[in-house]
A and B are shown apart, each in its own frame.
Chain A
């Protein structure tokens, strides 16, 4: 539905960047997340799509029609910001129906639609209150209701949950999925939190220094990030520098050596923590590496362990199902699921 072609815009954070998006297409009804660090240009891209910023070059098309020339208020999109930004002098109902009022819809129809949307947002009975009387999560739900009531062709969301506390944030995530499903609206969601993006999105686009570096479904993205920076951004921590030579990977420190098919290249070995099997120390089998536990932390349902192999350090997740308790300083042997080993080129 939305198509971006060779979009270009200069923007400034602590230094000057150029945003350059060659090609991006959103599908009708999909939940698309833009993931990137602060300053990566994701908010700039969002505002370009919203029409709050005008591109230096390039075009935007909505269902084949160019919209680059249209001001924000004429595009029929709506946007939820980091802050709820409710109008402080209007009650909740007036806030929610503001967009309808701007469209020139009569008061009765407006209020009926407003009440209906408040009900869907779980905010019935709040219509006469003022924004300051609501909690942060409630305010953000009103803001979302205010955006949805106009039936936008595209809903833009700029880190809408980042100012909420962790518990509310998780509730809001579930709730947003629900809303997305029942309204069938296309959503473009900006975030810097990979878990949020994985949890919500049908597809994720990764932005870095103004460029869209990778775009895929969450699972594929997680299994094959295009470079180390992207892998780190996705929250992957076991990245070991080294090189592939004649079907084997050797780490720079020389302590890790594993079978790995592929061309002879320099780069990083990515080991997903859940792909590691660990057993008590003893005689090492083929493709097993000896190590020492240096740190143990408990994550609900799992033990998160740091295992040192010479100079390298790996993060290992172990289910807490077995009654055996690991201890710091213990010698262990690690085996790796070949399918889950990935090599990232330099």
Chain B
């Protein structure tokens, strides 16, 4: 008996706390967004807040902004990430550690550096002037706090490229170590080895890490808050503004946005998990 329940007892504190704090929070948020347990008193079940959202032009603008900034950042980071990982393969451990520096810096500081570099009076525009490529400050495009979200995208590329690189690096290193020599003796060039062997084998890990990045960039708050504009704003900023600056009555609206964010990111995470599982499904031995 004791032996049977032992693993469950071992897991209970961690699982219990996560259920209580995290899933409890999600559930409470969902209930409040449905009009229950309202802070402002009164408790009646309603879809009113979700209806408000779905007809709100601003909400759809926010959704679209969140979506394409996340999509563009993820796409570019995924490509640069795997190139970086290929470069890392040739470096010694000491140099690899230096690239981990990027993971040490939190997003808001990375965002701040992007501001200092790419604002109209930033360091990049000063260098362009020094090289005689622009004459006046206005000639440098507005890349920070711009309505399209270039600054946000730049920051995410800067931060997520090393993340993807470090996620796929171990897989990549193992593929090269195991199969490069045998493929070469069978007449494969470096390029065809990459196309025929590396790409199919690294794909699950690569896509999984890209999906995690997509989920993160779609829902993160700090970078669009620092580098975005007041309108349109991303879903996370929309939720934050509504929650803190709006009246108490409007809080369920923020929580409704939150719930949609949770569903979207949870869904992406689930696909990522399914992808990464493909390793074990085919039972690739020798790994």
Contact = CB atoms under 8 A, between A and B. Distances in A.
Do A and B associate with each other?
yes
Interface of A: 47, 50-52, 71-74, 76-79, 81, 83-85, 87-89, 98-99, 101-103, 130-132, 146-147, 150, 156
Contacts of B179: 85, 87
Given A83-B286, A87-B197, 6 more contacts: A50-B181, A72-B184, A79-B182, A84-B286, A89-B282, A98-B183
Contact of A73 (B188, B197, B200, B286): B188
A246 B220 CA distance: 94
A102 B188 contact: yes
Contacts of A50: 181, 185
Contact of B285 (A52, A79, A102, A132): A132
A99 B182 CA distance: 10
Most A CB contacts (10 A, CB to CB) among B185, B200, B201 go to B185
Nearest to B284: A88
B192 interface: yes
Interface in B183-197: 183-189, 192, 196-197
B277 to A, nearest CB: 15
Contacts of A102: 186-189, 192
Contact of A130 (B182, B192, B201, B282): B282
Contacts of B182: 79, 81, 85
Interface of B: 178-179, 181-189, 192, 196-197, 200-201, 282-287
A338 to B, nearest CB: 49
B286 A71 contact: no
Classify the interface of chain A: helix, strand, loop or mixed: mixed
Contacts of B188: 73, 98, 102
Contact of A99 (B186, B197, B283): B186
Given A73-B189, A98-B196, A102-B192, A88 B282 contact: yes
Contact of A131 (B187, B192, B200, B285): B285
Contacts of A78: 185-186
Contacts of A74: 187
Contacts of A85: 178-179, 182, 286
B64 to A, nearest CB: 37
A148 to B, nearest CB: 11
Nearest to B182: A85
Given A89-B200, A101-B196, A72 B285 contact: no
Contacts of A83: 286
20 contacts: A50-B185, A52-B184, A52-B185, A71-B184, A72-B185, A73-B185, A73-B186, A79-B181, A79-B182, A85-B179, A85-B286, A89-B282, A98-B186, A99-B187, A101-B196, A102-B187, A102-B189, A132-B282, A147-B186, A150-B186
B143 to A, nearest CB: 41
A47 B200 CA distance: 27
Contact of A88 (B184, B186, B187, B201): B201
A150 B284 contact: no
A78 B285 CA distance: 23
A77 to B, nearest CB: 6
B194 to A, nearest CB: 13
Contacts of A98: 183, 186, 188, 196
A89 B186 contact: no
B287 A73 contact: no
B207 to A, nearest CB: 14
A35 B187 CA distance: 27
Given A98-B196, A130-B282, A132-B282, A88 B185 contact: no
B282 A146 contact: no
A275 B99 CA distance: 67
A132 B186 contact: no
Given A132-B283, A132-B285, A103 B187 contact: yes
A81 to B, nearest CB: 6
A184 to B, nearest CB: 20
A103 B189 CA distance: 10
A52 B181 contact: yes
Nearest to B200: A89
